[in-house]
Amino acid sequence: MATVQSTQSPQPIEPTTQPPYVHILFDVKTSPKKLKPILLETLHHKIYHRDVKIYPSFEAMKNAGAVKRGNVVVSLRAGGMNEDQIVMVARTTIQKLSMDWDKNELAGEALCLVIEDKMRSSGWSLMPYNAWREQSKRR
């Protein structure tokens, strides 16, 4: 019969490795001073047409000179996904934001706005489709 001894030294604990976050850059030039509106339809259009850039980290995005004030970034866990899968998950995230917006239950998780050399994940408003459409006609 084995007994547990209290003098036994604890086993070293392996650090848990979190899957890296990839950053999907939407070049939409939203005003960081107003922090509004981020246009869901524009984001959806860009991800649908793959008019986005994928970076393995925020640092990689900064080093590539892609960080500009007002850009929108979606941050996702990549855990072994290829580029197509990452784009599909980002597309699903944008679609969920649209559905949440329709139900007035907007969470906005994973969606960030670039300010200076960092990202901010809250403080903006989202524009409904009809308002977006009117604004896009004026451009």
Q: Is the pLDDT of residue 66 over 60?
A: yes
Query: Which is more confident, 136 or 80?
Result: 80
Q: What is d(CA 40, CA 135) in angstroms, rounded to the nearest whole number?
A: 13
pLDDT reported for residue 31: 53
Mean pLDDT of the chain, nearest integer: 66
Burial of 38 (0-12, 13-18, 19+ CB in 10 A): buried
Confidence (pTM):
0.57
Q: Residue length, the chain? A: 139
Domain spans, the chain: 21-138
- Report DSSP letters for 3-49, one per residue: ---TTPPPPPPPPPPPPPEEEEEE-----TTTT--B-HHHHHHHHHT
User: What confidence category does residue 34 fall into, taking pLDDT thresholds of 50, 70 and 90?
Assistant: very low
